[in-house]
């Protein structure tokens, strides 16, 4: 079996590392993919080290991207500020005080140009954590790539585009569920034809886990949402194999080392079995669960923050042993503020040490056959399948969300965990165990508070200098198409080329779609 990473496979003591083991039950690369989706896994190619970054202006974030790429990062992952996530321009009155605070501020095409200035978009894979305005941000990215000479069929990356988990846990939704699903299926259809290498959705368990659900609930709720997306796409006339190979997933990796490994193995098998049983798919890639992992931000503590390096290492190693396709490692200071250059570099180096020094990447499905891991895999699979069937009985993920069912389950699990911590039943070092007086020298990174004003001035200049009639005509076209079956993606691209802003395009959709408030689950 050819490999690209090493001339030979041996331990530090010189013991040969087999490619596979006799009697191994779950072979990687073979259905139902419990052991991994590729037969060679990391022996041929390491996971993508994709650090999440974004803060302040596009220029400052561009500089951080280049730093991380220079230090060995292989993919970009963009964090947007709250106004951008909610489809608001930086000069909207609701954006006041939030511009650039938890991510980069992107309101117009020129912001996107600046974000990727000097970064060849035919050489990197870019992930964008964006949901309600996902179509608009992807359209901006495609235009910037084309301006670089990179055609849409060559760009690679992912948009999160998972609105159901926003209703469940995260809250950056804008439109009602049915209208949001329309935007998602329009993206599926357009990209299947025009942007074939792009992952059109990253169905996310990460945020519902951060909100307090268990590992089993994370798998169940995520895959139930995925089934809802598949059904919605099929209802528009798409074939399962037109879009399912580009579906991707995004999971959390928490502190329980063996449970997390088993979770990933169970999720792969469950997705294969669900697609196989419910749909007439002939493409094996439609049944492969490909996923990105981010270690658990909610597990990081402001107390004794350097301990977070240990937490991140354990969680990252679990993700690797569980067979992730890409990985983000959090910085040790994220419970205090945005990562500094130093902490972001340590987070990246943690992945590189696991890849090159630990030996974990040399073995395919290294914990296969462990009685404990196989037991956990089976238990998570069975429990998650039962939850999915319960959600099916409620009419599917969207129907259950509309009545607040998943929200209630998440709240109950979060409350149970909090009680365990407060009672001391579950120990957290530095929080309720191993506490000590601290003289904390770690300083949070400070942002430029003038960014909001500078963005306002930039947008005022844009609106003054653009072709007003062409911009207004583009926005009108979007509003009219929102009340029809026409795919909105080409119209959004035209609007951006006519210098319409993110907030204006979202506003044009709101005229037809309206807005919505999800039930809390209580």
Question: Distance between CA atoms of 219 and 288, rounded to whole angstroms?
Answer: 15
Mean pLDDT across 452-478: 97
Question: Distance between CA atoms of 304 and 86, rounded to whole angstroms?
Answer: 34
Residue 446 scores a pLDDT above 80:
no
Q: Which residue has the tokens 């970054």?
A: 53
Decide if 236 is inside a domain. yes
List residues bridging with 76 in a β-sheet.
51, 126
- For 46-88, how does the pLDDT look when each residue is reduced to its tens digit (9 = 90+)? 999 988 888 889 999 999 999 999 998 888 999 999 999 999 9
Orientation of helix 489-497 relative to helix 468-482, angle to 10°: 170
Do residues 214 and 262 touch, judged by C-beta distance below 8 A? no
Decide if 75 is inside a domain. yes
* CA distances in angstroms from 173 to 85, 137, 167, 396, 519, listed in the order given: 8, 15, 7, 19, 12
Decide if 209 is inside a domain. yes
Query: Which of 260, 110, 125 is CA-nearest to residue 195?
Result: 125
Mean pLDDT across 477-483: 97
Q: What is the DSSP string of 246-265?
A: GEEEEEEE-S-HHHHHHHHH
Question: What percent of the chain shows pLDDT beyond 90?
Answer: 89
Question: Distance between CA atoms of 347 and 79, rounded to whole angstroms?
Answer: 16
Q: What per-residue confidence (pLDDT) applies to 1?
A: 37
Question: What percent of the chain shows pLDDT beyond 70?
Answer: 99
What sign has the CA pseudo-torsion 407, 409, 415, 418?
negative
Do residues 313 and 350 touch, judged by C-beta distance below 8 A? yes
Do residues 391 and 397 touch, judged by C-beta distance below 8 A? yes
- Strand order through the sheet with 75-79: 198-199, 156-159, 125-129, 75-79, 48-53, 326-328, 291-295, 247-253, 201-204
Residue 304 burial (C-beta neighbours within 10 Å; 0-12, 13-18, 19+): middle
Beta strands in 270-407 (DSSP E): 291-295, 326-328
- For 246-272, how does the pLDDT look when each residue is reduced to its tens digit (9 = 90+)? 999 999 999 999 999 999 999 999 999
Do residues 306 and 347 touch, judged by C-beta distance below 8 A? no
Q: What per-residue confidence (pLDDT) applies to 2?
A: 42
Mean pLDDT across 477-503: 98
The domain total for the chain is 1
- For 83-115, how does the pLDDT look when each residue is reduced to its tens digit (9 = 90+)? 999 999 999 999 999 999 989 999 999 999 999
* CA distances in angstroms from 76 to 87, 116, 261, 295, 327, listed in the order given: 22, 10, 25, 16, 11
- For 383-420, how does the pLDDT look when each residue is reduced to its tens digit (9 = 90+)? 999 999 999 999 999 999 999 999 999 999 999 999 99
Give the CATH number, domain containing residue 125.
3.20.20.240
Query: Which of 498, 474, 490, 482 is CA-nearest to residue 152?
Result: 490
Query: In a 3-state reduction of DSSP, which class is residue 77?
Result: strand
Residue 501 scores a pLDDT above 50:
yes
Lowest-confidence range among 46-55, 242-251, 370-379, 461-470? 46-55
What mean pLDDT, rounded, does the chain reach?
A: 94
Label residue 4 by pLDDT band (50, 70, 90). low
Domain that holds residue 135: 41-423
Decide if 428 is inside a domain. no
- For 314-349, how does the pLDDT look when each residue is reduced to its tens digit (9 = 90+)? 999 999 999 999 999 999 999 998 888 899 999 999
| pTM score of the predicted model | 0.94
Residue 3 scores a pLDDT above 50:
no
């Amino acid at each position: 079996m050819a490999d690209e990473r090493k001339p030979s496979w041996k331990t530090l003591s010189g013991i040969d590392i087999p490619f596979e083991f006799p009697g191994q039950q779950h072979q990687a690369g073979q259905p139902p993919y419990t052991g991994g989706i590729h037969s060679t896994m990391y022996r041929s190619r390491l996971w993508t080290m994709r650090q999440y970054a974004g803060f302040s202006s596009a220029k400052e974030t561009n500089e951080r991207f280049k730093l991380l790429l220079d230090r060995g990062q292989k993919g970009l992952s963009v964090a947007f500020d709250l106004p951008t996530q909610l489809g608001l321009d930086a000069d909207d009155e609701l954006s006041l005080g939030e511009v650039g605070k938890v991510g980069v501020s992107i309101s117009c095409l020129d912001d996107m140009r600046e974000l990727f200035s000097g970064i060849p978009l035919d050489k990197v894979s870019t992930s964008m954590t964006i949901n309600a305005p996902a179509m608009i941000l992807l359209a901006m990215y495609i235009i910037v790539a084309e301006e670089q000479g990179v055609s849409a069929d060559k760009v690679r990356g992912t948009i999160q585009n998972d609105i159901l988990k926003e209703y469940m846990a995260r809250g950056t939704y804008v439109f009602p569920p049915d209208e949001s699903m329309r935007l998602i299926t329009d993206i599926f259809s357009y990209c299947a034809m025009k942007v074939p290498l792009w992952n059109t959705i990253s169905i996310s368990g990460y945020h519902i886990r951060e909100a307090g659900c268990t590992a089993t609930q994370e798998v169940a709720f995520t895959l139930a949402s995925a089934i809802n997306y598949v059904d919605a796409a099929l209802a528009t006339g798409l074939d399962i194999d037109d879009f399912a190979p580009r579906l991707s997933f995004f999971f959390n990796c928490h502190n329980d080392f063996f449970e997390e490994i088993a979770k990933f193995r169970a999720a792969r098998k469950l997705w294969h079995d669900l697609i196989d049983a419910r749909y007439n798919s002939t493409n094996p890639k439609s049944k492969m669960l490909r996923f990105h992992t981010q270690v658990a931000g909610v597990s990081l503590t402001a107390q004794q923050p350097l301990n977070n390096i240990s937490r991140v290492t354990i969680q990252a190693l679990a993700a690797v042993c569980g067979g992730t396709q890409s990985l983000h490692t959090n910085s040790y200071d994220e419970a205090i503020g945005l990562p500094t250059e130093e902490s972001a570099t340590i987070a990246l180096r943690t992945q590189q040490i696991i890849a090159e020094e630990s030996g974990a990447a040399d073995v395919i499905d290294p914990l296969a056959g462990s009685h404990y891991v196989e037991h956990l895999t089976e238990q998570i699979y069975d429990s998650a399948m039962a939850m999915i069937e319960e959600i099916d009985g409620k009419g599917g993920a969207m129907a259950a969300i509309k009545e607040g069912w998943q929200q209630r389950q998440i709240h109950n699990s979060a409350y149970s965990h909090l009680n365990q911590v407060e009672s001391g039943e579950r120990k957290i070092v530095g929080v309720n165990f191993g506490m000590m007086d601290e003289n904390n020298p770690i300083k949070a990174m400070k942002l430029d508070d003038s960014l909001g004003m500078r963005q306002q001035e930039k947008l005022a200049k844009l609106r003054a200098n653009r072709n007003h009639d062409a911009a207004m005509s583009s926005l009108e076209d979007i509003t009219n198409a929102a009340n029809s079956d026409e795919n909105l993606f080409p119209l959004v691209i035209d609007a951006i080329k006519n210098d319409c802003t993110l907030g204006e395009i979202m506003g044009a959709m709101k005229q037809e779609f309206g807005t919505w408030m999800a039930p809390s689950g209580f």
